[in-house]
Structure 1
Amino acid sequence: MSAVTASPFTTLSPTNASRTLPKITFVGAGSTVFAKNLIGDILSFPELAGSHLCLYDIDPDRLATSEVVATKVAQALGAPATVTTTTDRRRALEGANYVLTMIQVAGYKPGTVTDFEIPKRYGLHQTIADTLGIGGIMRGLRTIPVMLDIARDMEEVCPDALLLNYVNPMAMLCWALDRGSSIATVGLCHSVQGTAKELANDLGIPVAEIDYRCAGINHMAFYTRFERHGEDLYPALRRIAEEGRAPETNRVRYEMLRRLGYFVTESSEHFSEYVPWFIKRDRPDLIDRFAIPLDEYPRRCETQIARWDTMRDRYEGEEPITVERTHEYAGPIIHAMETGTPAVIYGNVPNRGLIDNLPQGCCVEVPCLVDANGVQPTTVGALPPHLAALMQTNVNVQALTVEAALTGNRDHIYHAAMVDPHTAAELDLDQIWSLVDDLIEAHGEWLPPFR
């Protein structure tokens, strides 16, 4: 990636950012595998090796495993880190300099199962359901209150900390946090850098040689520039699409490249449920043609659950842990802020003069400069109009879901589902209203009251 010009509009930086031994709190540390990767990234920087890692989770058993893993990671790296654990959230947050969130409210059961099974009764099928669609709406409604509770605790016990959010639905949560909290927040995803690596593999080019510029909204950002040594790589990508050489798992995105002229950052299984064109109950030919994995997320969850006992035994046993740095952004952000060494990341931040043709205040994904001054989003300007128009269809759903969550207005849940591209393509208005009612009832106390 090339350097970019910082925007004067927004700087996300806790005060007194530079410290010798930062306290880094992991909220949802029972997500052991993901926590392991982030801890390895952080401690692999010598300047961060002595950090205080505070692990918090509501599940004491998973937390105990994560403590063993964190200790093993530190040992593998020779890092003199301090590792503490607690099931008391405020205690975990007290005095933190950085807070990483990686939670799933209501878990796989009942949360994810409810999000998938009830819509199926209406003939509405999904792939991932964590970002948009009716599943993304419900996930947002049950997660926003919890994230705001975390932020309120932070306002009291670590008001200057930076919140690094990894929880989906990313855009909805970051937008709600910006409106409902004073805590500096940046949302982090791996789709931009992950897709760049996938495309490099498709082209047979080392990813380190690729230079790109990307912008949009989370899970629907597009590479506005994709080059190697100054050579535009889009013609080569278009040839892959035209010659039918797109990987089976990426047919949707290569089709969108043909139609839009730009490549989108999120995976085909995700993107297929953000638009009205690929998943249709009376068009199984589309599912086959584009290799769309319906119910993909529940399958992943079931596989992970089945493997957990074996993984836990291995983690807690005598076998040492191998640590390799990942492409996640949390480690480089903390390192840049603590040392002043500049880094460029893609972050999800409020649109305050960053993208001209998306609504002000919505959550956008843009290049950000990071150094001792904090996370500094960069000005993109106007996106190609057809890309902004497509993003706007998703922003509409995000806006109404956030409005429902912050105001308690039940009507806006119906409105969000009504304008959702995939839901609207499959169901009529009576079905949408009935579906929302069924989902709210099934969620029970996992949702706050709506009037």
Structure 2
Amino acid sequence: MSFKIAIIGAGSVGFTKKLFTDLLCVPEFRDIEVALTDISQHNLDMIRAILDKIVEANGFPVKVTAHTDRRRALEGAKYIISCVRVGGLEAYADDIRIPLKYGIDQCVGDTICAGGILYGQRNIPVILDFCKDIREVAAPGAKFLNYANPMAMNTWAAIEYGKVDTVGLCHGVQHGAEQIAEILGAKSPAELDYICSGINHQTWFIDLRLNGRKIGKDELVAAFEAHPVFSQQEKLRIDVLKRFGVYSTESNGHLSEYLPWYRKRPEEIARWIDMSDWIHGETGGYLRHSTETRNWFETEFPQFLASADKPIDPAKRSNEHASHILEALETGRVYRGHFNVKNNGVISNLPADAIIESPGFVDRFGINMVSGITLPEACAATCMASINVQRMSVHAAVTGDIDLLKLAVLHDPLVGAVATPEEVWQMVDEMVVAQARWLPQYHDAGPAAKERLAKSTVKTRDWAGAARRNVRSIEELRAEKSALKKAV
């Protein structure tokens, strides 16, 4: 088979390498073209060198090209994959730093909450530019696979306003299933069958079968509490499981941001999180992790390049959805996964316009969602709170309506549990002013926001958060890695 795939944001080097090697695990895909595009020539050069070495080592006729001109990369592409972070770590730092001044402590801040909403405001205009290019220069009927967060908002905008065939992809469901398989003593995750449904990062395992045997709440709670590691790392998720009756896909730290009960009091946060790794609830944990990862990669690039000189092993293909979806569409080999699409009645007790994440099957006819799913009422209620925020956020991002943006932030569950309306109004003004270079739709609102900030009497504080760790140096990371190797 010969067709073209474009990867936007290909400078996300590690993730792009994973997607690329997954694609080449499909025998029929070894004659494709993969066009990389990114705004950073430096990052493009690094990933291009790695992928060229993979191709050379395996002797495949795959064509790899790299472009800072996005439209050139998209020309004739049948599939487009996006993994962009608009504003990079500089803007992301503001997503964490500014809300902390108003008492809002986020672990990740890239889905909803104050940081996730502003991240969506930066991403959506760019996503719509992608869609315009796809409509104009990509292959007719091209499919857009979005990996970028905030997943639901980006996918919502691409479908409703971008008018491009779009599916959102995430790996949270797979990771949650791997946890459950482990605590239940399965020899392989393949022994676990499940129906997982909801919205991205708030998806729920509403039916679990281990080798055909149904797993109930009590057995699941007991298995998690007996696990020596997860019982400590997933305290909040276990508490939600006990109260809701079903397990959430999302990590302990991420889930804590979406609910108004666990992060609103600084003195309570330590009770629910675990500091063994960023993902379990650390303040600004993903920002720290991302910063360290970038610094590490820049320093250790020669080693990453050297390790690319290996044969591809199809047995090590990852469970990221992209390659499996393309394989099913192109070959007809059926693939079952969990996909982010417009609801349109798939989940009976969520709105038709919402972007849901739910099971579907892929074949030559496309992505076919399993309909007729009804979420437990508590799960639906939790999802609805986020959906309403997402809808307002998308519409604000498209129209540049700063008042609607403030209302979206005000209705966020965690923000609303912590901040007053006056604080929210000032916080949004401050974030819009700080991130003005990435928010063209708010250009006209900027001067008035600056004027309000100059006159504001709302007090803020200099606060690092309830559970903050410092970014580790390369030397510290190297020493920790060496110590781990010796321990093993």
SS across alignment from 1:273: helix
After TM superposition, the structure 1 = structure 2 runs for residues 15-34 of structure 1, keeping only pairs within 5 Å, are: 20-34=1-15
1:61 equivalent to 2:42? Answer: yes
SS across alignment from 2:206: strand
What is the rounded CA distance, in whole Å, between the counterparts of 2:245 and 2:300 in structure 1?
43
Instruction: Indicate the residue corresponding to 2:247 in structure 1.
Output: 263
SS across alignment from 1:382: coil
State the superposition RMSD in angstroms.
1.6
Code of the aligned partner of 2:323: G
Alignment size in residue pairs:
430
What is the rounded CA distance, in whole Å, between the counterparts of 1:186 and 1:431 in structure 2?
36
1:252 equivalent to 2:244? Answer: no
1:165 equivalent to 2:146? Answer: yes
1:140 equivalent to 2:120? Answer: yes
Inter-CA distance 375–156: structure 2 relative to 1 (3 Å threshold): same
1:82 equivalent to 2:63? Answer: yes
Instruction: Indicate the residue corresponding to 2:28 in structure 1.
Output: 47
Instruction: Indicate the residue corresponding to 1:437 in structure 2.
Output: 429
After TM superposition, the structure 1 = structure 2 runs for residues 161-240 of structure 1, keeping only pairs within 5 Å, are: 161-205=142-186, 206-234=188-216, 235-240=218-223
Do 1:241 and 1:258's aligned partners in 2 also have CA atoms closer than 8 Å? no
Q: Tell me the alpha carbon deviations over residues 42-65 of structure 1, each in whole angstroms, 9 at most, x when there is no partner.
A: 011101111111111111111011
Provide structure 1 residue ranges, at least 5 long, that are not aligned to the other structure.
Answer: 1-19
Once the two structures are TM-superposed, the CA of residue 124 in structure 1 deviates from its matched residue by 1.4
What is the rounded CA distance, in whole Å, between the counterparts of 2:196 and 2:241 in structure 1?
14
Inter-CA distance 434–95: structure 2 relative to 1 (3 Å threshold): same
Instruction: Indicate the residue corresponding to 2:132 in structure 1.
Output: 152
What is the rounded CA distance, in whole Å, between the counterparts of 1:127 and 1:397 in structure 2?
19
SS across alignment from 2:324: helix
1:374 is aligned, of 366, 376, 399, to 366
Code of the aligned partner of 2:284: D
1:302 equivalent to 2:284? Answer: no
Once the two structures are TM-superposed, the CA of residue 236 in structure 1 deviates from its matched residue by 2.3
Once the two structures are TM-superposed, the CA of residue 280 in structure 1 deviates from its matched residue by 2.5
Q: Tell me the alpha carbon deviations over residues 192-219 of structure 1, each in whole angstroms, 9 at most, x when there is no partner.
A: 1111012212222121100101111000
Do 1:344 and 1:369's aligned partners in 2 also have CA atoms closer than 8 Å? yes
Once the two structures are TM-superposed, the CA of residue 149 in structure 1 deviates from its matched residue by 0.2
1:312 is aligned, of 301, 312, 316, to 301
What is the rounded CA distance, in whole Å, between the counterparts of 2:206 and 2:335 in structure 1?
20
More helix by proportion, 1 or 2? 2
Between stretches 371-380 and 336-345, larger displacement belongs to 371-380
Do 1:49 and 1:81's aligned partners in 2 also have CA atoms closer than 8 Å? yes
SS across alignment from 1:353: coil
Once the two structures are TM-superposed, the CA of residue 74 in structure 1 deviates from its matched residue by 2.6
What is the rounded CA distance, in whole Å, between the counterparts of 1:279 and 1:322 in structure 2?
46
Q: Tell me the alpha carbon deviations over residues 244-282 of structure 1, each in whole angstroms, 9 at most, x when there is no partner.
A: 854322111111100100011111111100011111344
Inter-CA distance 280–244: structure 2 relative to 1 (3 Å threshold): farther
Q: Tell me the alpha carbon deviations over residues 361-411 of structure 1, each in whole angstroms, 9 at most, x when there is no partner.
A: 110001111111112222133222221111101111101101101222111
Higher RCO structure, 1 or 2 (CA under 8 Å, sep 6+): 1
Code of the aligned partner of 1:265: T
Once the two structures are TM-superposed, the CA of residue 224 in structure 1 deviates from its matched residue by 1.0
What is the rounded CA distance, in whole Å, between the counterparts of 1:47 and 1:449 in structure 2?
43
Provide structure 2 residue ranges, at least 5 long, that are not aligned to the other structure.
Answer: 275-280, 446-488
Query: Identical aligned pairs, as a percentage?
Result: 36
Between stretches 66-75 and 354-363, larger displacement belongs to 66-75
What is the rounded CA distance, in whole Å, between the counterparts of 2:321 and 2:368 in structure 1?
14
Do 2:50 and 2:308's aligned partners in 1 also have CA atoms closer than 8 Å? no
Between stretches 201-210 and 127-136, larger displacement belongs to 201-210
1:337 is aligned, of 329, 349, 352, to 329
1:119 is aligned, of 82, 87, 99, to 99
SS across alignment from 2:341: strand
SS across alignment from 2:257: coil
Once the two structures are TM-superposed, the CA of residue 78 in structure 1 deviates from its matched residue by 4.0
What is the rounded CA distance, in whole Å, between the counterparts of 1:321 and 1:251 in structure 2?
40
Instruction: Indicate the residue corresponding to 1:16 in structure 2.
Output: none
Code of the aligned partner of 1:237: L
Once the two structures are TM-superposed, the CA of residue 97 in structure 1 deviates from its matched residue by 0.5
Instruction: Indicate the residue corresponding to 2:485 in structure 1.
Output: none
SS across alignment from 1:272: helix
TM-score (norm 2): 0.85
What is the rounded CA distance, in whole Å, between the counterparts of 2:307 and 2:237 in structure 1?
43
Code of the aligned partner of 2:239: E
What is the rounded CA distance, in whole Å, between the counterparts of 1:332 and 1:429 in structure 2?
46
Instruction: Indicate the residue corresponding to 2:458 in structure 1.
Output: none
What is the rounded CA distance, in whole Å, between the counterparts of 1:317 and 1:328 in structure 2?
24
What is the rounded CA distance, in whole Å, between the counterparts of 2:307 and 2:173 in structure 1?
36
Once the two structures are TM-superposed, the CA of residue 426 in structure 1 deviates from its matched residue by 0.6
Instruction: Indicate the residue corresponding to 2:351 in structure 1.
Output: 359
What is the rounded CA distance, in whole Å, between the counterparts of 2:305 and 2:51 in structure 1?
11
1:394 equivalent to 2:377? Answer: no
Do 1:279 and 1:287's aligned partners in 2 also have CA atoms closer than 8 Å? no
Once the two structures are TM-superposed, the CA of residue 311 in structure 1 deviates from its matched residue by 3.2
Once the two structures are TM-superposed, the CA of residue 449 in structure 1 deviates from its matched residue by 3.2
Q: Tell me the alpha carbon deviations over residues 120-178 of structure 1, each in whole angstroms, 9 at most, x when there is no partner.
A: 11121110000010000000001000000000000001141100100000001111111
Q: Tell me the alpha carbon deviations over residues 411-430 of structure 1, each in whole angstroms, 9 at most, x when there is no partner.
A: 11111111100001111111
Inter-CA distance 377–30: structure 2 relative to 1 (3 Å threshold): same
Do 2:172 and 2:250's aligned partners in 1 also have CA atoms closer than 8 Å? yes
SS across alignment from 2:440: coil
Code of the aligned partner of 2:269: L
